[in-house]
Amino acid sequence: MIIEHPLLGPRDAQEFTYLGDASMIDRPDWQADDAADLFYKWLYLRDNPAGEHRELWFHEQGDRSWLVVTRNTVTHEISKVELARDVARQAGRSR
Amino acid sequence: MKQINRLSGGQIDRSQTLSFTFDGKAYCGHPGDTLASALLANNVRLMGRSFKYHRPRGPLSAGSEEPNALVELREGSRQEPNTRATTAELFDGLVARSQNRWPSLTFDVMGVNDWLSPFLAAGFYYKTFMWPKQFWERLYEPIIRRAAGLGSLSMEPDPDQYDKGFLHCDLLIIGAGPAGLAAALTAGRAGARIILADEDFQLGGRLNSETFQLDNKPGSQWVAQARAELEAMDNVRVMARTAITGTFDHGVYSALERVSDHQLAPAPGKPRQTLWRITTKRALLCAGAIERAIAFPNNDRPGIMLASALRAYANRYAVTPGRCVALFTNNDDGLRTAKDLAAKGVTIAAIVDTRRDTPALSPDPDIRAEHHFRGAEIVDTRGHLGLKSITVRTLEGELKTIACDALGVSGGWNPNVHLASHQRQRPVWRDDISAFVPGDALPAGMMAAGAAQGDFSTQACLHGGTQAARAALLELGIEAPAMPIPDQRGEGSAFGQSAVWHIENGRRRAWVDQQNDVTVKDIKLSHQEGFRAVEHLKRYTTLGMATDQGKTANVTGLAVMAELTGQTIAQTGTTMFRPPYAPTAIGAFAGRHRDENFRPVRKTPSHKWAQERGAIFVETGMWLRAQWFPRPGETHWRESVDREVLATRRSVGVCDVTTLGKIDIQGGDAAVFLNRVYCNAFAKLPVGKVRYGLMLREDGIVMDDGTTAHLTPNHYVMTTTTANAGSVFRHLEFCRQCLWPDLDVHIISTTDAWAQFAIAGPNARNLLRKIVDAQFDLSNEAFPFMACADITVCNGLRARLFRISFSGELAYELAVPTGYGDALIRELMAQGEEFDVVPYGTEALGVMRIEKGHAAGNELNGTTSALNLGMGRMVSKKKDSIGSILSEREGMNADDALSLTGFKPVDPTQTFAAGSHFIPMGGQEIAHNDQGYMTSVCHSPTLGHTIGLGLLKAGSQRMGERLLAVNPLMGQRTEVEVVSAHFVDPEGERLRG
Amino acid sequence: MVDLKSIGPLGKAEPFSQTIGTIQIMENPSYALASVACTAGKEATLQAAAVRTFGFSMPDVGQSARNENGDWGAFWTGPGQFMVEAPMDHHEDISAHLITTFQGVAAITEQTGGWIRFDVEGEDCIEWLHRLCAVDTGKLLAGSAVRTVIEHLGVFVICDAPQTRFRIYGASSSAHSLLHALTSAAHSIARG
C-alpha cells in the first residue's frame, strides 16, 4: 500500500501503523450529564462499512504525524489523506 | 554422450560445451540451453514421475508453466527440489536428479499406483480414510505423508543469502516479448523511468522461438538490438531472470530476480535471489500467452508436448525430442510447428487436425507430412517410458496407428491473465479466441497488451505494446511518439480455431492436470458428486493446485466442467488467482532476516561489559538484557539470582535499566497534558520531584505505568515499561495531535540517548557519593525519596539522578549520556568494590519487585483495571483523564472484583507456578469454582520459600484465608495462604531511609 | 576534565570505516545532536534565532541545512521539529547551548548518545539504497532529509550529493543490526 502523506508525498505503508476509525478523534465531554453513555458509545459502537472508511494511521517511521486516511475497504482505493490535527481542529477540538 | 537430437541453428553458443549430470549420468550441452533442452538434445525424454500415479513423464512445455519435468538441482545443502527443468539455465557442473521415484526413474515401485488408479480417483482420501476414526493419526496420515510430495529437502540450512529491495518507476513492463519490447522502446525513448522485467534469461519471448522476420532480420536479432538500445538508456532498468510474482495495492508489484541461479554457487557475498518490491505509477502486462493441451487418452507420455514447445526447442534451442514427430491441433498455430520442424529436417509422421475444413495456412506447400488427417482425433498412444505410436480415429471412424517418437499438441492459447487478477478481478471469456482475457476492471494503474490481451499476432503485439505504453505515459503527462512498427514477414494472420477440449475413448484416462494427475474422469466424478462450482472442482480434484497452479490445465478443466453442467465457459468462470505467480523460495521472503539477524537487536550501553562478565542474556522485545551474572562455581541460575538478590538487599547492587522507555515531555502545557494521560493527579508535581504514574486506556484497563520526573519548569521525563515504550509514545502523540491539538506540549523519545542504571541497597548512597560530584548533597534531607535533579558525575559529566526504587531498597537511578554508559558501569563496579557491589540482571530485578509487591507486565496484562491492581483510589474523579469515565462502570467495580494480593505456601517446602488458578479448599477444579489466578511467582531468597502475586476475587478482604492454587497442566495442587503483596519491608522504611 | 571515556554505539573506541565495492561506509562520531521542537506560534522568532546563531533558517519539510563552515547543521524531522547538529569538539554541550538560543520558543532534547551516524559515499549508492529502504532515493536532491525504515529500524536518510553521497542516522542501541544491513547490502552489489 502507498499512502499519499499530505506533507511528504507518497510513502510506503510499512512506515505506518494503523489505529482504526477516525471517530476516535471525537472524544466526548467528560463533564456531560450522560458522559458514561457517551463514552461507551464512542468507544465501542463503530460502523463497519463496505466502502469508504475514514481511519487513523500513524506515520511512526516518518514524521510522527497522525493522519486521517479515507480508504475504500472494498477496493483499498485511498481517496483522501489529511493531517489528523487539522481534522481535529476543524471538529472544534483545541485544548 | 552425443547430442543426437541437436538440430541446426538456434540461440545456443556451440563454441562452449557445458558438462552436467542427470541421475548420475554425464551429458553435455551449451550456453543458452535449459536443463530440459540439453536433456532432450541427449535424447533423454523421461525426466520425472507424476505425483499420484507415478506415471513416467517428460517436459510438456519449454517454459515456467511446466507441470512435469520437475527435478532436484544441486547437491548437499544447496539441493533444491521441484525445479522446472524447462527454466533451469544450464551451467557447467550442474548436478540434477529425477524425483518421486524409487529405486530409479525407469523402474519405480510406486508405479503400482497407476494400476490401482481405479481406486485412487478424486476424493479417494476423503472417502477411504474416514473409519475407524482413531486410525487417522496413527496409521493413515503417516502412510500418506510418506507417499506424498515430490522432491526431497536436504535437511540442512540453506547456505545462500537472499536479498530484498525496493524499486520505483513510472512504468513497469511485465514481459519482454514483442509487446513488452515495443512498449519499452516507446516509453524508454520518451524518457520515462521504466522497468522491463522478464522471467526468462533471454528477452524476446516467442520471438526467440519463431521463425518470422522483423525488418528482414530474424526475430532474435531484432530482440538483441532492442535490448542493447534499452540497456544503454539511463532511464530504463532491464531485468532478465526476473519474474513479476504478484500485484498488490496502489501499483506495488513483487518480483523475484534469480541473481545467481545460473551459476554453480553464488559468488561470495552475493545473493542467490533478490525479492523486489516495485512501486509503480503505471504497469503494462505483456506477459504473453500459454498454449493449452487437448485432453486425449494417454496424453501424458514422455515425448508428448505442446506444439509451441516443440517449436521453441527446435528454433531457440536447436533440439527435437524425436526424429519422427506427429502434430495434433485444433488451430492454425499448431501447423506452424510442422512447418518449422520439417524445415529443420525432422520427419512429420502425421498431422491430426480436429477441423474438417482446415482454412488459411493449410494445406501449405511447406508443410510436408506423411499423413494429413482432417476432422480426426487421437484416441490413444503407446510407449511406456516414451512415446512410440499414436492411434488416430479418422473422420470416417477408422483407427490408424502411426509410429512416432514425439507429438506436438495445440489446443489454442490462454492469455496470461494471472497478474491482472490478483486483486479479485475476474477475467472475461472471448468466444472468438476461445480464451479468457483480462476484463475491463484491471488493478489500478494496469493495462494489458499483446498476447496477454488476446492479440496473438506479432504485428498486433508490437502495435498493442506501443499504443499501450503511449496511453499509460499520457496519463502521467508524458507524450511518447509511436514506435515505427517493424516490417514483419512469414507469420500470416489467421487464427482459425475449433474449440476441442477433450477426447473420449472408452475407459482410457485423459490427463487435464498432469502435475496433480487430474483426468477428465476425475472432473466427471466431481460433477457427479456435486462439486460443480469451479472452486469446489479445484479442491475436490486438486486441479490446478500443484506448483504450476494449473497454467496449462485450468481452462481445459473448467471447459470440461462447463460441458457437463451445460453452462457456458463464461458462466463457469475461473478460480481465484493469487500471488505468487511462480514458486518462490521461502528464503527469498526471509531475505537477510535469518539466524542472528532474524530481527534487529538492541543492546544496552553495558552490553559489552556484561558480555565480558559472562552474563546470560534474555530477549525482552528487541532488547538483549543481562538476565543474571553467573560466578565461577555457580551451576544453576537460581544460585546466581539468589546471590544477586541477597547481596543487593545486604549492601548494594547495580542493574542496567536503560531499556525503560524515556520520553521527554516539554512545553507550557506539559503538566496539563500529563494530568490527562495519567489517571492520578499530576498537575502539581513540583520541580525536583518524581511521581509514580498509572496510565489507563479509555476502557479503564491499565495501559502502562512508570515514573515521571519534573526536571526543570515545563520539562518532564516520563519512563514507560520496556515493552510498551513504542505504544505509549504512539498513544501520547494521538492524545496530543487528535484530542488536544492546541496544547503547548512536545513529546520526544529519548530512550537511546541516556544510559540509565539502578543502584539499590543500603549502601547505594555510599556508593553514589563516590561517583556524584561533591557539590551535590545526597543526604536524605537534601535528596529524599522521589527526588530528582540534573547533576554531574565523575568530574563534570552531565547526568540525571532519580531517587526511585523498584526493589524496595534505598535506591537511585542514575542516567548519563549513552556513550558514557560503558565507562560508568565499570566505574560503579570499581568504586563499589569496598561494598561488595554486585551487578544484577532482570531475574533478580523480578524477584525483588515480587518481594516488594510491585505490579509489572504479568499484572499489567491488558485485562486489569486500577482497582484490580489495588490502585483504584488513585483514579482521580476530579479531572478529565484517559479512562477515568469508563473505569467507573459498575461491572469494573463489583464487590468481588479481582484484586492483587500476595500468596505463600502453607507448607514452606511446597511450591506453585504462575498461571495457577485459585479454588476454594476441597473444591473441584472446574471453571465454576475459579476464584482468580496467580500472575507472578518466584523463590524469595529473602524469605526462603516460594512467593507469588495473584489476582483474587475480593482478595484485599481475604487476608489469612487458605485456598488451593491448582495447575492442572502440571498436576500441581498447593495449599496457599492469602497475604499482603508486600513481602519485604511493608512499611517502606528502607526506601525512605 | 571528565574521568569517564565515551565509546561509540558499536562498542569501539575507533569509528567504523570500510569500503565495499564502490561503497564507502564511515561512522561519523564527531557530531553532537539535539532535537528542537518549536512552540506553536513562535515560528518566526525561532527562524530569526536560527539565522542569527547558525547562519541559516530552519529547513523546510523534508529538507536539511548547513552553514558554510559546517559547524552547524539541521534537518527537518516532523512538523515544527528539527534535529540540530554541531561538532562534538566544541559543542558537546549542544543542548545547553540551544536552550539559551531558543529560550521560550522551542523545547530542546539532548540526542547525542541516541544516534549513530554513517556517512556513505560511492557511485553505486542508489543501487545500495534500493536494497535498504522503500524511499525513491534516486530522486532525492542535495539536502533532502527522509525518515524511513531500514531493516525494521527507524532511520534518517539525508542526501548530501544526489546519487553519490548520503548520511544515515540510526538509533544507537541497534547500531550493530543497522551496520549489518548496510554492509551486507554493499557486499551484494559490489562488483567483481
Mutate to test the interface with C, among B622, B752, B771, B772 (most CBs of C within 10 A): B752
As a whole number of angstroms, the distance between CA B856 and CA B397 comes to 86
Q: What is the pLDDT of residues B444-485, one digit of tens each?
A: 999 999 999 999 999 999 999 999 999 999 999 999 999 999
Q: Which three cell numbers stand for residue B750?
A: 529519548
Instruction: Report whether A15 contacts A61 (CB < 8 A).
Output: yes
Residue C16 backbone dihedrals phi, psi, to 5 degrees: -70, 140
As a whole number of angstroms, the distance between CA B68 and CA B61 comes to 9
How crowded is residue C68: how many other Cβ atoms within 10 Å of its Cβ?
8
Alpha-carbon distances, residue B191 vs B9, B236, B574 (angstroms) = 37, 9, 39
Contacts of B922 (CB under 8 A, 6+ apart): none
Burial class (CB in 10 A: 0-12, 13-18, 19+), B571: exposed
Give the HSE-up count for residue B550: Cα atoms under 13 Å, Cβ half-sphere. 28
Which among B164, B592, B820 has CB closest to C4?
B820
On whether any CB of chain B is under 8 Å from the CB of C64, the answer is: no
Sheet holding B217-218: strands in order across?
Answer: B217-218, B213-214, B488-489
C-alpha distance from A18 to closest chain B C-alpha (Å): 11
Instruction: Report whether B785 contacts B993 (CB < 8 A).
Output: no
Mutate to test the interface with B, among C30, C163, C188, C189 (most CBs of B within 10 A): C188
Q: Which three cell numbers stand for residue C118?
A: 554513517
How crowded is residue B124: how many other Cβ atoms within 10 Å of its Cβ?
16
Taking CA B14 as the corner, what is the angle to CA B75 and CA B240, rounded to the nearest 5 degrees? 60
On whether any CB of chain A is under 8 Å from the CB of C142, the answer is: no
According to the 3-state scheme, what is the secondary structure of B560-578?
A: HHHHHHCCCHHHHCCCCCC
Q: Which three cell numbers stand for residue B429?
A: 471469456
Size of interface A-B (CB pairs under 8 A): 82
On whether any CB of chain A is under 8 Å from the CB of C13, the answer is: no
Q: What is the pLDDT of residues C123-154, one digit of tens each?
A: 999 999 999 999 999 999 999 999 999 999 99
Q: Which of B76, B70, B60, B77 lies closest to B97, judged by CA? A: B70
- CB-CB neighbors (< 8 A) of C132 in chain B: 165
Alpha-carbon distances, residue A22 vs A12, A44, A83, B701, B886 (angstroms) = 20, 13, 11, 21, 20
pLDDT at residue B497, rounded to an integer: 72
Q: Which of B839, B842, B788, B796 lies closest to B817, judged by CA? A: B796
Helix (H) or strand (E) holding B653: strand B653-656
Per the CB < 8 Å rule, is C134 touching A8? no
DSSP state of C72: -
**CB proximity under 8 Å: A 66-85 to C:** 83
Residues of chain C with pLDDT under 70: 1, 192
As a whole number of angstroms, the distance between CA B779 and CA B826 comes to 24
Which chain A residue is nearest to residue C79, measuring alpha carbons? Answer: A63
pLDDT at residue B363, rounded to an integer: 54
In the chain, the amino acid numbered B641 is V
As a whole number of angstroms, the distance between CA A40 and CA B887 comes to 11
Which chain C residue is nearest to residue B663, measuring alpha carbons? Answer: C109
DSSP state of B256: E
Rounded to 10 deg, the angle between the B219-231 and B178-189 helix axes is: 30
Q: Which three cell numbers stand for residue B309?
A: 514447445
pLDDT at residue B738, rounded to an integer: 98
- CB-CB neighbors (< 8 A) of A93 in chain B: 738-742
Residues of chain B with pLDDT under 70: 1, 125, 129-130, 144-149, 358-366, 490, 492-496
> For the CA atoms of B903, B906, B911, B913, what is the dihedral angle to 10 degrees?
-30
- CB-CB neighbors (< 8 A) of B623 in chain C: 173
On whether any CB of chain C is under 8 Å from the CB of A12, the answer is: yes
Q: Which of B320, B185, B192, B199 lies closest to B262, judged by CA? A: B199
As a whole number of angstroms, the distance between CA B280 and CA B468 comes to 16
Q: Which of C106, C135, C127, C121 lies closest to C38, judged by CA? A: C106
Whole-number average pLDDT of chain A: 96
Residue B24, helix vs strand vs coil: coil
Helix (H) or strand (E) holding B58: none
Mutate to test the interface with B, among A4, A26, A27, A46 (most CBs of B within 10 A): A27
Which chain B residue is nearest to residue A73, measuring alpha carbons? Answer: B249
Q: Which three cell numbers stand for residue B378?
A: 487421437
- Residue length of chain C: 192
Question: pTM for this structure?
Answer: 0.94
Size of interface B-C (CB pairs under 8 A): 148
Mutate to test the interface with A, among B248, B737, B877, B887 (most CBs of A within 10 A): B737
Q: Which of B388, B396, B371, B391 lies closest to B380, judged by CA? A: B391
Q: Which of B562, B457, B477 lies closest to B520, judged by CA? A: B562
Per the CB < 8 Å rule, is C153 touching B600? yes
Do strands A52-58 and A17-21 pair parallel, antiparallel, or not at all (unpaired)? Answer: antiparallel
Per the CB < 8 Å rule, is C61 touching A14? no
